[in-house]
Amino acid sequence: MNEFLTQYAFIIVPIIKIAILVLLVLTVDAYLTWIERKVIAHIQARWGPHRVGPHGLLQPLADGLKFIFKEDPLPANVDKAAYFLAPFLTLMLALTSLAVIPFGPQRFKVLGYETHVGIADVNISLLVLFAITALGVYGIALAGWASNSKYSLLGGLRSSAQMISYELALTLSVVGVLLIAGDFSLRSIVEHQTGTGRGLLSWNIFPQFIGFLCFFIAAIAETNRVPFDLPEAESELVAGFHTEYASMKFAMFFIAEYTSMITISCLATILFFGGWLSPFPVTWTFTHYLPSVLLIPFGLWVIFDGMRYENLFGRILLPGVGTALAAIGAALIVFPMINDIVQGPFWFLAKVFTFLFVYIWMRGTLPRFRYDQLMSFGWKFLLPVSIANVVLTAVAILMWGKL
């Protein structure tokens, strides 16, 4: 048995990693919807979901059950191949793009097979991500066309045109980072940002501030989020390209949108904000206790919060969660070896969640672009600025050696 595992470890280990990653990402997606509804609600001075479970924490579970049990209608005269293919394609591409993202610096051996924290370590991982983004246009175009409905077709065509236009700016705004790092591999881009251990100051955000702004704006347009979400705006086009999709297929589009949000946030942290690197200089080793310092008070607060609830469910669930969090925080202080392993992914997740919060914050705050404003912004402003960023970066590297 052991020999079988060791011989085929190069297939078994990635499959286990894929299973873990997909489960984690789907859970994060579900609770991202909860976070989004709560944050937007608090921005709008109301509460958001607070009845289903303590603090509305079981709302995603209720939503999932609703999606499973809802009727899945098939409109008349649809092109069946394209209608069924579109949501699968979108979801598949969104989940595949997570395969090339490195989540932490460690390399470890499992079953004699040397591997890293992430699924695939290719030396063109950035190009693979762009290829998957380029193919993502098809899901939306096919969904809009196959639904045999005016609103869907218009929404689908507009959304595809928007995605293609902003894809150019997205790709060009990253070229500055590529010039600085000299490699396509995401892992080596992060390792290049280690600098001389100065922490925050050696991240790519400082030489490439314009590049980061262009990247983030183009990325929001790519994922069809506010302020670029005209194709799926409720007041404009009913629901755009996913008007005729219900229940499970709509859930697939939904999950794909949140997963691509997560992917773009991961990309932004890796390319511009140092990935898994800590913002503090390497010599400040006391900052290694930051995860515990955050977890233990939070766990205690959750325990006290659970006491407020009258029903038994809140009184058991919340203190349980709180105790678990506090215990993890204490374990990190007691076992420094685990603390070292946790550092990289902790900073990575912290930065990713900051970007997700910015995404949700923008949804609660900004109005949406009109279609012609959107297209002229993409072609007449964002693309020239990205090209100018590339030229400036190249000139700077020529004049001052390495940036």
Partner 1 sequence: MTAPLLIFFVLATLAVLGAVSLILQRHPIHSALSLIVVMVALAGLYLLMGAEFVAAVQIIVYGGAIMVLFVFVIMLLNAEEEERTNFSKLATYAGIPLAVAMTGLIAAAIARSSGALPAPAPSGALTSTKTLSMLLFSEFVYPFELTSFLILVAILGAIVLAQRES
**113 contacts partner 1 (rule: CB under 8 A):** no
- The least CB distance from residue 124 to partner 1, in Å, is 5
**346 contacts partner 1 (rule: CB under 8 A):** no
The helix or strand, by DSSP H or E, that contains position 110, with its residue range, turns out to be strand 107-110
- The least CB distance from residue 11 to partner 1, in Å, is 10
- Between 150-181 and 247-272, two packed helices, what is the crossing angle to 10 degrees? 20
Q: Which is nearer to partner 1, 127 or 303 (CB)?
A: 127
**397 contacts partner 1 (rule: CB under 8 A):** no
Q: Of these, 84, 113, 138, 280, which contacts partner 1 (CB under 8 A)?
A: 138
Q: Which is nearer to partner 1, 37 or 249 (CB)?
A: 249
Positive or negative CA dihedral for 87, 92, 93, 95? positive
Q: Which is nearer to partner 1, 79 or 191 (CB)?
A: 79
Length of the chain equals 403
Q: Compute how many residues bind partner 1; rule: CB under 8 A.
A: 25
- The least CB distance from residue 120 to partner 1, in Å, is 12
| Three-class SS state of 292 | helix
Going by C-alpha positions, the residue among 108, 100, 120 that lies closest to residue 270 is 100
CA 261/CA 259 separation, integer angstroms: 5
Q: Which is nearer to partner 1, 231 or 299 (CB)?
A: 231
Site stretch for partner 1 (CB under 8 A), options 25-33, 126-134, 230-238, 380-388? 126-134
**127 contacts partner 1 (rule: CB under 8 A):** yes
**142 contacts partner 1 (rule: CB under 8 A):** yes
∠ CA(27), CA(303), CA(333), 5° rounding? 80
**15 contacts partner 1 (rule: CB under 8 A):** no
CA 17/CA 105 separation, integer angstroms: 16
Q: Rule CB under 8 A: which of 203-222 touch partner 1?
A: none
Q: Of these, 128, 238, 293, 333, which contacts partner 1 (CB under 8 A)?
A: 128
Q: Rule CB under 8 A: which of 66-85 touch partner 1?
A: 79, 81-82, 85
Distances (CA, A) of 309 to 299, 319, 320: 16, 11, 13
- Which class for 346: exposed (0-12), middle (13-18), buried (19 or more C-beta within 10 A)? buried
| DSSP state letter for 50 | -
Q: Which is nearer to partner 1, 161 or 213 (CB)?
A: 161
Q: Rule CB under 8 A: which of 35-64 touch partner 1?
A: none
| Three-class SS state of 140 | helix
Q: What share of the chain is helix, strand, coil (3-state, %, to 5)?
A: 75, 0, 25
- The least CB distance from residue 174 to partner 1, in Å, is 13
Q: Of these, 43, 134, 396, 397, which contacts partner 1 (CB under 8 A)?
A: 134
Q: Of these, 34, 67, 83, 145, which contacts partner 1 (CB under 8 A)?
A: 145
- The least CB distance from residue 131 to partner 1, in Å, is 4
CA 134/CA 97 separation, integer angstroms: 11
CA 214/CA 205 separation, integer angstroms: 12
Positive or negative CA dihedral for 335, 337, 339, 342? negative
Q: Which is nearer to partner 1, 54 or 378 (CB)?
A: 378
Site stretch for partner 1 (CB under 8 A), options 157-165, 214-222, 258-266, 318-326? 157-165
- The least CB distance from residue 368 to partner 1, in Å, is 24
Put residue 199 in one of left, alpha, beta given phi > 0 → left and psi -120 to 50 → alpha.
left
**93 contacts partner 1 (rule: CB under 8 A):** no
Report the interface residues with partner 1, using CB under 8 A.
79, 81-82, 85, 122-124, 127-128, 130-131, 133-135, 137-138, 141-142, 145, 153, 157, 160, 164, 167, 184
